[in-house]
């Protein structure tokens, strides 16, 4: 989901007090605006608006989301406001590295918006799940999961990527739903290579660690086959929420043992210190900071499905 676009529509609806008026102001069709709001509520799993035949108003959650959306949009506008330096358009190339899920799901829309502001800047996106710093990857900016510990660059935290246990309703109907962590061992478990290779998942509940043995029968090298196997009913797996948010929201996947959490990954942005960064890199860093923090506040936030 393009979260900033959804925020803009929602803020306009709340301020207009009417879907039809907001649609007119946005230059969109009324059904399109209604659909955007419905998709946003489905995605967040929260009711944001109360609609009657005569009025429309925000719920308490909607009011909180409205205030935070305004701040996020203002921050994004600030990042977008500076598009020129010394009256000349910036020209050149910037290289950005990112993990697969964010490079495939989140960044394309963000980078398209950046290029609309800076059409003479060429962007190269390197998608790689390895944990590396910019120097090692040969890029200007690196988005990474986990703690890097790179001394020669800025290491800026963006948010925490939530991870949950999940399976398809069909799998759970056929093999049963685990009620305790000890029951997980009786189920087929799917994992990404390099994670849980020892067959132990470090689950937590109410802040207490509960290392749990699992029966790993599928190991894949990428998040897409992991989700495909989960959707096909091949077993239970640990899912990064952004990669599986749509399937969870649509009920195609269900959380397993929802009272437990797998340790989250910290999403970080690494880049050279100011004196070593080009003007193009600085512009993209500012833009990514605003856009990704807006995304992280909502799309990565813990919630129930």
Per-residue pLDDT of the chain (305 residues; tens, 9 = 90+): 678 888 889 998 998 888 988 888 777 888 889 999 999 998 888 899 998 877 888 999 999 999 988 888 877 766 655 544 444 678 888 999 998 888 988 899 999 999 999 999 999 999 887 656 676 567 889 998 877 666 678 888 888 888 899 999 999 999 999 999 999 999 999 998 888 878 999 999 988 999 999 999 999 988 889 999 999 999 999 998 888 888 998 899 999 999 998 888 888 999 887 655 678 888 999 999 988 887 766 555 555 55
Half-sphere exposure of residue 300: CA atoms within 13 angstroms, side-chain side: 19
Q: Which CATH class is domain 91-160+265-299?
A: alpha beta
Residue given tokens 């959650």 in the structure block: 61
How do beta strands 188-192 and 84-85 pair? Answer: unpaired
Q: Range(s) for CATH 3.40.190.10 in the chain?
A: 91-160+265-299, 161-263
Distance, in Å, from the CA atom of 222 to the CA atom of 58, rounded to the nearest integer, reads 40
Burial status of residue 74 (CB atoms within 10 A of its CB: 0-12, 13-18, 19 or more): exposed
Q: Is 243 left (phi over 0), alpha (psi -120 to 50) or beta?
A: alpha
Q: What is the largest CA-CA distance in the chain?
A: 66
Q: Return the residue matching tokens 């990514």.
A: 288
pLDDT at position 110 is 92
Decide if domain 161-263 falls under CATH 3.30.70.2740.
no
Query: For residue 128, what are the CA distances in angstroms to 145, 238, 241?
Result: 11, 20, 18
Q: Where in the chain is the domain with CATH 1.10.10.10?
A: 3-81
User: What residues contact residue 194 under an 8 Å CB cut-off, 6+ apart?
Assistant: none
Tell me how far apart the alpha carbons of residues 68 and 123 are, in angstroms, rounded to a whole number: 30
At 85 the pLDDT is 47
Residues in contact with 136: Cβ distance below 8 Å, sequence separation at least 6, in sequence order: none
Q: Which of 168, 286, 161 is nearest to 237 (CA)?
A: 168
Asked if residue 113 lies in contact with residue 8, where contact means CB atoms within 8 angstroms, the answer is: no
Domain 3-81 CATH (choose: 3.10.20.30, 1.10.10.10, 3.40.50.720, 1.10.3720.10): 1.10.10.10
Count Cα neighbours of 155 within 13 Å in the Cβ-side half-sphere: 14
Question: Whole-prediction pTM value?
Answer: 0.65
Angle between helices 3-16 and 279-299 (to 10 degrees): 60
Nearest to 220 by CA among 206, 241, 208, 234: 234
Nearest to 155 by CA among 79, 76, 267, 242: 267
Encoded tokens for 193: 């290579």
Give the residues across from 191 on adjacent strands: 219
Kind and range of the H or E element at 166?
strand 153-167
What pLDDT, on a 0 to 100 scale, did the predictor assign at position 84? 47
C-alpha to C-alpha distances, 158 to 1, 218, 265, 278, nearest whole angstrom: 18, 31, 11, 21
């Amino acid at each position: 989901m393009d979260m900033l676009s959804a925020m803009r529509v929602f803020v306009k609806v709340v301020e207009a007090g009417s879907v039809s008026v907001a649609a007119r102001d946005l230059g969109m069709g009324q059904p399109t605006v209604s659909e955007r709001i419905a998709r946003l509520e489905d995605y967040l799993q929260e009711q944001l608006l109360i609609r009657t035949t005569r009025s429309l108003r925000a719920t308490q959650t909607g009011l909180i989301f409205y205030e935070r959306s305004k701040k996020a949009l203002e921050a994004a506008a600030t990042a977008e406001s500076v598009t020129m330096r010394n009256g000349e358009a910036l020209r050149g190339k910037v290289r950005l590295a990112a993990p697969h899920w964010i490079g495939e799901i989140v960044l394309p829309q963000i980078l398209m918006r950046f290029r609309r502001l800076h059409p003479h800047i060429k962007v190269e996106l390197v998608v790689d799940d390895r944990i590396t710093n910019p120097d090692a990857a040969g890029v200007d900016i690196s988005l990474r999961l986990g703690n890097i510990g790179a001394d020669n660059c800025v290491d800026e935290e963006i948010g925490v990527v939530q991870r949950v246990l999940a399976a398809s309703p069909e799998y759970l109907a056929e093999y049963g739903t685990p009620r305790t962590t000890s029951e997980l061992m009786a189920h087929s478990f799917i994992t990404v290579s390099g994670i849980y290779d020892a067959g132990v998942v470090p689950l937590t509940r109410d802040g207490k660690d509960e290392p749990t043995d699992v029966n790993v029968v599928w190991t894949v090298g990428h998040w897409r086959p992991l989700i495909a196997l989960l959707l096909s009913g091949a077993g239970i797996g640990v899912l990064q929420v952004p990669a599986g948010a749509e399937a969870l929201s649509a009920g195609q996947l269900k959380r397993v043992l929802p009272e437990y959490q797998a340790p989250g990954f910290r999403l970080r942005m690494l880049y050279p210190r100011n004196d070593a960064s080009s003007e193009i890199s600085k512009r993209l860093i500012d833009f990514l900071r605003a856009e990704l923090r807006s995304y992280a506040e909502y799309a990565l936030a813990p919630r129930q499905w």
